[in-house]
């Protein structure tokens, strides 16, 4: 019974940490949550095989949390780089459009 309490407590703490963030979850937070839950599930299964499912779930959840944070952080960094590149591309396109309008205006002035 004590082992189930550990697993339930771990899952409760993960949900509390994720739920208290407010607003929508970042990619890093999603990765941490998925990693912790997946790790706890796998750890619980492995722990059950050796007679300690609660300890297995706790260890697996902690390892999964750490792994999920690292993966989520990498994905979030990649999303940020893509957003920065898109912003630069939009800025470049706006400058090209401005230069085209200026060129057309100069052509029209030269015709008079």
Q: From first to last of the 112 residues of the chain, give the pLDDT tens digit.
A: 555 666 666 666 666 665 655 678 888 888 888 888 888 888 888 888 888 888 888 888 888 888 988 999 999 999 999 999 999 999 999 999 999 999 999 999 988 7
Structure tokens at 82: 């893509």
DSSP structural state of residue 23: S
Rounded to whole angstroms, what are the CA distances from 28 to 32, 43, 78? 6, 22, 11
């Amino acid at each position: 019974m004590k082992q189930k309490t550990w697993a339930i407590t771990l899952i409760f703490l993960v949900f509390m940490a994720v739920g208290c963030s407010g607003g929508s979850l970042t990619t890093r937070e999603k990765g941490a949550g998925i990693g912790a839950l997946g790790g706890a599930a796998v750890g619980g299964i492995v722990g059950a095989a050796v007679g300690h499912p609660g300890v297995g779930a706790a260890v697996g959840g902690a390892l999964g949390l750490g792994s999920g944070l690292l993966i989520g952080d990498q994905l979030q960094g990649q999303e940020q780089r893509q957003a920065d590149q898109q912003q630069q591309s939009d800025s470049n396109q706006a400058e090209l459009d401005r230069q085209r309008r200026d060129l057309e205006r100069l052509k029209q002035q030269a015709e008079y």
